[in-house]
Chain A
Amino acid sequence: MNTELLLWSSIAIIVLAGCYNVSLFLLSRRRFRRGRAPREPRLYVFLLACLNEEKVLAESLARITSLPAGNFLALVIDDASDDRTAEIARAADPERVRLLQRKLPNARKGKGAALNAGIRYLREAGLLDGRDPHDVIVCVVDADGRLDAHVVQAVDPYFDNPRTGGTQIGVRMYNRDQGLLARLQDMEFVIYGDIFQSARRYIGSVGMGGNGQFMRLAALESLMGEDGSGPWSDSLTEDLDLGVRLIARGWTNQHCTSAAVSQQAVLDVKRLVRQRSRWFQGHLQSANLVPLIVREVPVRPAVDLLYHLSSPVLILLTSLLPVSFLIAVGGTVAGSIEAGHPLITPMWLIGPYVLSFTAAYAYGWVYSRREQGLGLLRAIALSHVFVIYGYIWFVAGWYGLWRMVTGQRGWLKTART
Chain B
Amino acid sequence: MYGKPALGTVVPLAGLTAAPRVLPGIPFARGLQEAAGAGFLLYCAVAVALITAKFWYRIRNSGGSR
Beyond A393-B2, A394-B6, whether A352 also contacts B12 by CB under 8 A is: yes
User: Contact between B36 and A10 (Cβ–Cβ < 8 Å)?
Assistant: yes
Interface segment, one of A44-52, A55-63, A128-136, A312-320: A312-320
User: Contact between B5 and A386 (Cβ–Cβ < 8 Å)?
Assistant: yes
Partner of A21, one of B4, B29, B41: B4
User: Contact between A334 and B24 (Cβ–Cβ < 8 Å)?
Assistant: yes
User: CA A388 – CA B11 in complex, angstroms?
Assistant: 9
Which residues of chain A in 300-359 are interfacial with respect to chain B, using CB atoms and an 8 Å cutoff?
302-303, 306, 308, 310-325, 327-328, 330-332, 334-335, 343, 347-348, 351-352, 355-357, 359
User: Contact between B37 and A312 (Cβ–Cβ < 8 Å)?
Assistant: no
User: Contact between A324 and B9 (Cβ–Cβ < 8 Å)?
Assistant: no
Partner of A313, one of B10, B38, B43: B43
User: Contact between A355 and B1 (Cβ–Cβ < 8 Å)?
Assistant: no
- Does A14 reach chain B (CB closer than 8 Å)? yes
User: CA A308 – CA B47 in complex, angstroms?
Assistant: 12
Q: How far is the CB of A321 from chain B (nearest CB, A)?
A: 5
User: Contact between B13 and A10 (Cβ–Cβ < 8 Å)?
Assistant: yes
Beyond A7-B33, A321-B32, A331-B23, whether A299 also contacts B3 by CB under 8 A is: no
For B7, list chain A residues within 8 Å (CB).
13-14, 17, 20-21, 311, 314-315, 318
- Does A11 reach chain B (CB closer than 8 Å)? yes
- Does A391 reach chain B (CB closer than 8 Å)? yes
User: Contact between B47 and A318 (Cβ–Cβ < 8 Å)?
Assistant: no
Range, interface on chain B: 35 or more
Q: How far is the CB of A287 from chain B (nearest CB, A)?
A: 11
Partner of B2, one of A17, A279, A313: A279
User: Contact between A5 and B29 (Cβ–Cβ < 8 Å)?
Assistant: no
User: CA A20 – CA B7 in complex, angstroms?
Assistant: 10
Q: How far is the CB of B8 from chain A (nearest CB, A)?
A: 4
User: CA A344 – CA B15 in complex, angstroms?
Assistant: 10
Q: How far is the CB of B11 from chain A (nearest CB, A)?
A: 5
Beyond A294-B57, A317-B36, whether A355 also contacts B14 by CB under 8 A is: yes
User: Contact between A324 and B37 (Cβ–Cβ < 8 Å)?
Assistant: no
Partner of B43, one of A290, A317, A394: A317
A352-B15, A390-B9, A391-B10 given; 16 more Cβ-contact pairs under 8 Å? A6-B37, A7-B17, A11-B37, A14-B10, A196-B4, A298-B66, A310-B43, A311-B7, A322-B10, A325-B12, A327-B28, A327-B32, A328-B15, A332-B23, A387-B5, A390-B5
Give A contacts to B, CB under 8 Å: 1, 3-14, 17-18, 20-21, 24, 188-189, 191-192, 195-196, 207, 209, 240, 276, 279-280, 283, 290, 293-295, 298-299, 302-303, 306, 308, 310-325, 327-328, 330-332, 334-335, 343, 347-348, 351-352, 355-357, 359, 363, 386-388, 390-394
Q: Shortest 3 CB-CB distances between A and B: which pairs?
A: A331-B25, A9-B37, A6-B37
